[in-house]
């Protein structure tokens, strides 16, 4: 890797609206995704919006995994950033299954180019 971290943005479409609207389902799926990726979970926080939608994040020692859901559009946006050796593909597979996503798109970025800092 020529960067400090890897940032993966995933969009899940055609999801089960009931799953995306349920705070416990989204929280459990995100924690399971972090575990499946081999990340070290530090803490997490999730919030259910009225009338629907869930936002939240799992803080991992390697960085974070965040989500916002739009059940009314059967859509979830996921943000996975890591500066360590985690398997993001395994984590996203857990989310895809939990939300019964029919489609998925990804954008991957390298963050923080490694450079030698001169003193």
Question: Looking at the annotation, which residues are catalytic?
Answer: 63, 68, 83
Whole-number Cα distances in Å, 119 to 3, 48, 112, 116? 20, 47, 19, 10
Q: Where are the alpha helices (DSSP H) in the chain?
A: 17-21, 23-36, 88-98
């Amino acid at each position: 890797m020529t960067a400090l971290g890897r940032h993966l943005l995933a969009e899940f479409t055609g999801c089960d609206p009931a799953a995306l609207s349920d705070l416990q389902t989204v929280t459990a799926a995100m924690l399971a995704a972090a575990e499946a990726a081999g990340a070290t979970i530090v803490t997490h926080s999730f919030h259910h919006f009225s009338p629907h939608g869930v936002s939240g994040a799992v803080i991992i020692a390697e960085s974070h995994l965040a989500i916002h859901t739009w059940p009314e559009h059967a859509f979830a946006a996921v943000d996975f950033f890591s500066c360590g050796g985690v398997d993001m593909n395994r984590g996203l597979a857990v989310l895809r299954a939990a939300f019964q996503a029919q489609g998925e798109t990804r954008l991957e970025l390298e963050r923080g180019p490694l450079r030698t800092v001169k003193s």
